[in-house]
Structure 1
Amino acid sequence: MRNADRFDLADLDISTIDLPASGERSLRDSVVPALALRVRSSGSRSWVVLRTKDGKTVRETLGDAVSVPLASARLMASGPVVAKSPIKEITEPDERLFKPAATVADMLPRFLTFGANGRWKPSTGRQMESVGRTCILPLLGDRKLQDITPQDVACWHRDVTAQTSSARMALSTLSGLMLFAEDHGVRPAGSNPCRGLRKKAKGHRGRHLPPGSVKRLWAALDRLHGRMPDYCDAVRLLLLTGARRSEVLGLQWDLIAGPRAVLEDSKSGPRTIWLNAPAREILDARRAASASLYVFPSPRIDGPLTAMDAPWRAILKEAGLSGMRLHDLRHHFASVAVSNGIDIRLVGQLLGHRDIDSTLGYAHLATGALTKSASRVSSIIDRSMNAGATPKPRHQCQKPTSRSRRALAAAVASSGEARHA
């Protein structure tokens, strides 16, 4: 196809692409090379797949690019078989596509289309499309949805876990697909074969970092500040605020007002990061020396820093620590808050959790605060129960004076000497 330029189609706004003066133009996807966006002078925009067969390029149309999300088009284009008729947006179950013998490859694009219509955040949709294309379709794409068993999923998950760090997202995506299949009658209700497999790692939730480790980490940040000031300040803010890495690295100055930073979007939607005095001191020092829109600007592109894996390893090495994840700083913040008696709901607001269930993983750390609260409640109940009782004689309730304690000690000593004699 002529005029087939290559782009990451996720970076383009399909509705605003300039139309050719006449004829058509195709934009090839750099992520899935077989996929292209075809725009015509008439205004139509559609997904097409380009295949080479017998030395010739064969083009097949997938559907309207405005109706079918890019994630779904990429999945359909990456498969070995492409539908021979245009695929339209699905709003109601399609009997031809959602037949009992439907395969994972048949239903996954429709599942992603369903979620892309406001159900998921765009970043979540892109992650699900990626793990679907790389982790689900190659191993399970030709399997019938109704035939997949918990044992099949367990074997698949074991293989995926050994190959990629995205196994949790892959499992969540497959689980959602199975529920989608139940909703459309392809699987019996309540038969999700992913049930029972752990989707979230629980081992790091609610863990205190040892005080010595925190001190060593902070000292290492002071020593390395001259070499990597941006990354050291970012780690300090993570430890002081409990914010997520992406939230700190993506901070913009105009979103910070006094003791808070108001984020228009985060993993859990709009939320506020509350800034204590040490965090504000760090930001004030950076603002005085900054000419960028971002608190942590990237030295290579017009945008913020996006990754800090290598600097974090260097910081841990300087501190003499190992096995500590950057996300553990967030868990430590929450652990300190809960174990010092801060209400679990307030901790959830500080962390930006969408619901209380996300915060309850730290509830077991509130032992000290709960013990004090239980003692206080029991004391109140005890006083109320004994309010009408006959008061004890004052001499029995009086606290022993220093003189009486000395006299008692002397009497005990004399009694002991007498028994010994």
Structure 2
Amino acid sequence: MAKLTTRYVDSLAAGDKESISWDDELAGFGLRSYPSGRKVYIVQYKLHGRTRRKTLGRHGVVTADEARKGAKLVQADVARGMDPSAERKARLRSPTIKQLGERFLKEHVSLHCKPTTLYDYRNLLRGVVNPVLGGIKVSEITFSDIQAFHLKRRDTPYQANRGVMVLSKMLNLAEDWGLRAMNTNPTRRIKRYPEEEKKRYLDETEQERLGEVLAEMFKSGQISRYVFVAFYLLLLTGCRLSEIQKLKWDFVTKTHLELPDSKTGRRRIPLPREARALIDTLERREGNPYVILGDHGTGHYNDMQKPWRKIRARAGLEDVRVHDLRHTYASVAVMNGVDPFMLKEILGHKNLSTTLRYAHLSDDAVQKAAGQIANRLAATLGSMA
């Protein structure tokens, strides 16, 4: 045994077999020599009754003094109950964020979420998260990594925030699955960007224009009766697009749409007389359970966005999305005094806070009514000068 110094290690000749030279000053610090001439610094320690060794670096890449300092740090970690060798192996075995995402979709989302959520999460991971963070190991991703990702996407705040949201869910599960230490989720202190909520409602003039265009395009054969009825049902019921697009005859009663499953679970949607009358004009196709049919096949009408683009262009409503028809239904309800609690049930909102986004519309109605009352009183009272 001798003190391991750079000069001493340089002087050691390669033997016929692999060997270890131990330092005579720092117990557990050694040098492993190979017949090829390669020399590697190591540290040996005992934890829970088991002897382990950890490589500190190759001679020539690190000096003897640097390796000695590294050995002391390892021994300090061991004294605190840590196992540096096991932690390194765990890091090497750690999946990447991309691999965690695949497991997250397969073992969590597909089992506990709606198919639409699975679709959205898969696209979010593929198009937003993985290109930036996909290659980083789950055990090594840090707050700085997440922060840089969020900052890079600042021009698309909705995507940036949803990316952090799905990462938060994934990394919480990574802790549950033993892939990260508990309570180390680095997404927790990321401040979300403000999002400008898209609210677009059709006023009465726009509603009339849309009705005229739907009728014209139906009469001229540019849209089928099924498409015509589908858009009217969206306006008359406040349903989500998927709820009408995938509506089956078994769900239709005289007064309600009885949906066994929706975005918020089972729903019982009031079916006004006008909406029921439109449904009654539709022909059924033998062997096809759906109400809104395509031109052929056994399924439902697949792409409602395609005819909608033509309809809104003809009506001069290029900025209106299909989902804005649901917003229009809600706005008409609120402006006509429908109670928010009742509207929540009609629209199938999970939380009242979602329904209360439309509350400002009732304020407008109240303001208008107050103005009419004041005008009438002022006319009766005469000049106030």
Find the counterpart in structure 1 of residue 41 from structure 2: none
CA–CA separation in structure 2 for the residues paired with 1:324 and 1:139: 33
CA–CA separation in structure 1 for the residues paired with 2:147 and 2:161: 17
Find the counterpart in structure 1 of residue 131 from structure 2: 138
CA–CA separation in structure 2 for the residues paired with 1:254 and 1:312: 26
SS in 2 for 1:310: helix
Which of 340, 343, 347 is equivalent to 2:343? 347
CA–CA separation in structure 2 for the residues paired with 1:365 and 1:99: 57
Identity of paired residues, percent?
A: 32
Find the counterpart in structure 2 of residue 215 from structure 1: 208
**Residue type at the aligned position of 2:360:** H
Tell me the matched-pair count: 278
Deviations 1:152-194 (A, max 9, x none): 13234247x49xx977754542342344457653663684255
CA–CA separation in structure 1 for the residues paired with 2:154 and 2:192: 14
1:98-137 equivalence runs, <5 A: 103-116=96-109, 118-137=111-130
Find the counterpart in structure 2 of residue 152 from structure 1: 148
Deviation (angstroms), 1:211: 1.2
Find the counterpart in structure 1 of residue 3 from structure 2: none
**Residue type at the aligned position of 2:355:** T
Find the counterpart in structure 2 of residue 173 from structure 1: 166
**Residue type at the aligned position of 2:169:** G
Deviations 1:92-132 (A, max 9, x none): xxx87689987423533343345237432233224323332
1:135–1:187: structure 2 CA closer, same or farther, 3 Å change rule? farther
**Residue type at the aligned position of 1:177:** M
Find the counterpart in structure 1 of residue 239 from structure 2: 243
CA–CA separation in structure 1 for the residues paired with 2:97 and 2:230: 42
CA–CA separation in structure 1 for the residues paired with 2:297 and 2:161: 31
Deviation (angstroms), 1:371: 7.7
Find the counterpart in structure 1 of residue 303 from structure 2: 307
Find the counterpart in structure 2 of residue 13 from structure 1: none
Which of 220, 226, 229 is equivalent to 1:230? 226
* Aligned residues of 1:255 and 1:263 also touching (Cα < 8 A): yes
TM-score (norm 2): 0.61
Find the counterpart in structure 2 of residue 284 from structure 1: 280
CA–CA separation in structure 1 for the residues paired with 2:94 and 2:233: 53
SS in 2 for 1:112: helix
**Residue type at the aligned position of 2:322:** L
* Aligned residues of 2:226 and 2:282 also touching (Cα < 8 A): no
1:98–1:364: structure 2 CA closer, same or farther, 3 Å change rule? farther
Find the counterpart in structure 2 of residue 272 from structure 1: 268
1:114–1:290: structure 2 CA closer, same or farther, 3 Å change rule? closer
CA–CA separation in structure 2 for the residues paired with 1:296 and 1:104: 41
SS in 1 for 2:153: helix
Find the counterpart in structure 2 of residue 356 from structure 1: 352
CA–CA separation in structure 2 for the residues paired with 1:113 and 1:215: 47
* Aligned residues of 1:238 and 1:329 also touching (Cα < 8 A): yes
Find the counterpart in structure 2 of residue 35 from structure 1: none
Identify unmatched segments of 5+ residues in structure 2: 1-86, 371-379
* Aligned residues of 1:242 and 1:334 also touching (Cα < 8 A): yes
1:201–1:281: structure 2 CA closer, same or farther, 3 Å change rule? farther
Computed over aligned residues only, the root mean square deviation of the Cα atoms, in angstroms, reads: 3.8
1:294–1:208: structure 2 CA closer, same or farther, 3 Å change rule? same
1:98–1:216: structure 2 CA closer, same or farther, 3 Å change rule? farther
**Residue type at the aligned position of 1:211:** E
SS in 2 for 1:359: helix
> Are 2:323 and 1:327 equivalent residues in the alignment?
yes
Which of 178, 182, 203 is equivalent to 2:198? 203
CA–CA separation in structure 2 for the residues paired with 1:353 and 1:337: 14
Find the counterpart in structure 1 of residue 256 from structure 2: 260
CA–CA separation in structure 2 for the residues paired with 1:239 and 1:168: 31
Find the counterpart in structure 2 of residue 295 from structure 1: 291
CA–CA separation in structure 1 for the residues paired with 2:90 and 2:294: 46
SS in 2 for 1:354: coil
CA–CA separation in structure 2 for the residues paired with 1:371 and 1:210: 17
1:190–1:103: structure 2 CA closer, same or farther, 3 Å change rule? closer
1:192–1:260: structure 2 CA closer, same or farther, 3 Å change rule? same
**Residue type at the aligned position of 2:227:** Y
* Aligned residues of 1:237 and 1:279 also touching (Cα < 8 A): yes
**Residue type at the aligned position of 2:167:** L
* Aligned residues of 1:312 and 1:326 also touching (Cα < 8 A): yes
